[in-house]
Amino acid sequence: MVLVDTNVLAYLMIEGERTAAAQQLLSRDPDWRSEAFILVELSNILATYVRVRALARERALQLLAEAETMVPILTTVPHAQALDAAAQHEISAYDGRFVALAMQSRRPLVTEDARLLSAAPRWTMSLAEAVQA
């Protein structure tokens, strides 16, 4: 089982320089899980791509539907736990949701968010580290 942050899922869904690494991680362990907020954040990324005309609306909707199947098990962390993790690690409440899930699961969150990697090194690992593990 792999806990993934939104950016890792986005790298898998939207072709770019880190897509191959995300695909490699998925092939090593297809049991991806996350905090339910991942789909809100991914929707925001896709909306931005549509707004700047880097992606057609229909393609964005298709990618969102595919993403829902890539991470079928979503956990909703209690708001108090997310807030506590955010305060403890001096991160946003959004990121606090993902770190709280990592703490609760006792598994690292795979993320490419440099600030989050720095703020919560005990509970996070980079995509490159996850692929090598």
pLDDT at 4: 98
Domains annotated on the chain, with CATH: 2-38+70-132 (3.40.50.1010)
- Cα–Cα distances (Å) from 76 to 35, 48, 96, in that order, read 6, 25, 12
Q: Is the pLDDT of residue 48 over 90?
A: yes
In whole angstroms, give the CA distance from residue 34 to residue 55. Answer: 25
pLDDT band at 69 (very low <50, low <70, confident <90, very high): very high
Q: Is the pLDDT of residue 44 over 90?
A: yes
DSSP 3-state assignment of 30? coil
Backbone angles phi, psi at 120, to 5 degrees: -135, 60
Residue 62: exposed, middle, or buried by beta-carbon count in 10 A (0-12, 13-18, 19+)?
middle
pLDDT at 9: 98
pLDDT at 95: 97
Taking alpha carbons only, the member of 112, 91, 86 closest to residue 10 is: 112
Instruction: Identify which has the larger pLDDT, 40 or 133.
Output: 40
pTM of the model: 0.94
pLDDT at 133: 85
pLDDT at 43: 98
pLDDT at 61: 98
Q: Is 2 left (phi over 0), alpha (psi -120 to 50) or beta?
A: beta
Q: Average pLDDT in the 67-75 region?
A: 95
C-beta neighbour count of 39 within 10 angstroms? 17
